[in-house]
Structure 1
Amino acid sequence: MSKVVEVESDQGVAIVTLSRPDKLNALNMETFEALIDAGQALSADQSVRAVVLCGAGEHFCAGIDTSVFMAGMANEAGGSRMMPMDDSPANFFQRAAVIWRELPVPVIAALQGVVYGGGLQLAMGADFRIAAPSTRCSVMEIRWGIIPDMGISTTTRATVRLDHLRELVYTGRVVDADEALQIGLLSRLQDEPLQAAKELAATIARNSPDAVRAGKYLLNHVFDEAPERALRREALVQTKLVGQANQLEAVRSNMEKREPAFGPAVKIEVNID
């Protein structure tokens, strides 16, 4: 794996670390590519049950590296990279953030220090954001004369009220952790966010991998669907789970009061059309 993004796994939990601490983990082109590569590899790994996304050093991510802006001004980073990728409606830059929402397992972002611009949009791709009380967040793009365009229009829909998001996008204002929690940018505050994220990931990993993946699949779809479609999807997903080996093992282990021994996850998708 790339040196700018490190990936390690233990007992079904993958730790993905932005590793440019001397640059406050700012996102350069290599980091964008490495994030996409890591997400694709983890998505294909049936042994992964949860992911923790974090930054090395004192900060999660200061946003996009100035080298990316310079390349864009020289037309080196534009063109095809702004077009949808072959396997996704997202473009290259968006993909680095939304791939974590698309990942079939839960993703927990452990945040500290600055979480600015592209770094905040990357974090919003996670299912949960656990942050240190000293964390500072900002939608910083307005200061560069651009809009936030790494999937924020999709990843904030169910978490941040629109008027709060409008203010952040229009002003670039830095908000502290307490305010970020209040307006929905953060899930909770912890003095040791990485440890808390690992503990949550371990708790998730102890459950049936089929049920966890099915739960994420369901929740990724139903909030944008009409009620009748959402209810239909919910029912069909349940029928895919009931009777599967891991579902039966969940029942048996509960009845026998022992730790479950789950097998590999199965792919859960349904067609409601």
Structure 2
Amino acid sequence: MLNNRVNIVIDDGIADVRLARPDKMNAIDLPMFEEIASAIDRLAGETSLRVVVLSGEGRAFCAGLDMASVADGGSELDLATRSHGLANHVQQVAWGWRTLRVPVIAAVHGIAFGGGLQIASGADIVLARADTRFSVMEMKWGIIPDMGGFALWRGRVRDDVVRELTYTAREFDGVEGATLGFVSRTADDPHAEALALARTIAAQNPHAVRAAKRIANLAATANAGTILMAESIEQIKLLQSPNQIEAVQAHKEKRSPRFAD
């Protein structure tokens, strides 16, 4: 457990991470910004981590910014400083999931508005209930998405769709979200489905999974030559490595593989 706004339980290489401010539908106040960023830092240091499942406790995934809290303490948010590599502190709570070396699966229900949608978009895979309410909500408050949304939606959601939803702040549900690209697929119980998917991923060669995420992240912006070279470099490192040999041997012997981290 990390303080009181983010809960983390790690079991068999799977981190079950829950936003834990259910009385406010997990709306993001200043302490929650700190705790989400700290949670990402903690997970980045977990050497045996294989997969992360990210969800919200209570009635919603995340209702977005707690506007009253941010209005009272917004001067504390330094948006100009790149405190986390490419990202500032605010962007880190969404962008940081993308930079983790392991896959992140978001399990979304209830509401994912504004910053909540951006946090979910930091995941590699987004599972959502069909009746989940989504919105690029920021225009309602006279601001723009600034937690990494534009960078995270690139390659996932068509440019004109991002523009329309940003300009209008209109709501859409999980079914439309899957059509538009914000959601990977719908599920009646996103959290249970995400944990099942996490177990499947965690059973693969962890070095190959991490290599695949590095290439997938690169592919969003790199040219074809860079991507092709990255594929070759990663594959050279994997071929005849102990985990790759174990994957083949386990398949031949029809048993579960025993991978080293």
- TM-score, structure 2 as length reference: 0.97
CA deviation profile, 1:28-84 (whole Å, cap 9, x unmatched): 111111111111111121211000000001100000112012322xx2x23x35411
Q: Are the equivalent residues in 2 in contact too, given 1:82–1:93 (CA < 8 A)? A: no
Q: Is the 8 A contact 1:54 1:110 kept in 2?
A: yes
| Alignment map for 1:193-208 (pairs within 5 Å) | 193-208=190-205
1-structure distance, mates of 2:141, 2:234: 44
Partner of 1:271: none
**Which residue matches 1:25?**
26
Q: Distance in 2 between the 1:29 and 1:240 partners?
A: 42
| Counterpart-to-counterpart distance in 2, 1:44 and 1:239 | 26
Residue of structure 2 in register with 1:211 after alignment: 208
Find the aligned partners of 2:11 and 2:95 in 1 and give their Cα distance. Answer: 24
1:131 aligns with 2:128: yes
Structure 2 residue matching 1:197: 3-state secondary structure: helix
Asked if 1 retains the 8 angstrom alpha-carbon contact of 2:105 and 2:194, the reply is: yes
Structure 2 CA distance, aligned partners of 1:111 and 1:23? 16
Contact 2:30 2:73 in 1 (8 A): no
Q: Say what the alpha-carbon RMSD is for the aligned residues.
A: 1.0
Picking from 100, 105, 109, the partner of 2:102 is 105
- 1:139-169, Cα deviation, whole Å (9 max, x unpaired): 1100111100000121111110011110110
Q: Give the partner amino acid of 1:47.
A: S
Query: Cα distance, 1:89 vs. partner?
Result: 1.5
| Aligned residue-pair number | 259
Is 1:262 aligned to 2:243, yes or no? no
Instruction: Say whether 1:84 aligns with 2:86.
Output: no
Give the 3-state SS of the residue equivalent to 1:22 in structure 2.
Answer: helix
Letter in 1 for 2:63: A
SS of 1:141's equivalent in the other structure is: helix
Residue 185 of structure 2 aligns with which residue? 188
Partner in structure 1 of residue 118 of structure 2: 121
Q: 4+ runs of 1 displaced by more than 4 Å?
A: none
* Partner amino acid, structure 2, of 1:84: R
Counterpart amino acid of residue 72 in structure 2: M
Question: SS of the counterpart of 1:7?
Answer: strand
Unaligned regions of 5+ residues in structure 1, if any?
Answer: 265-273
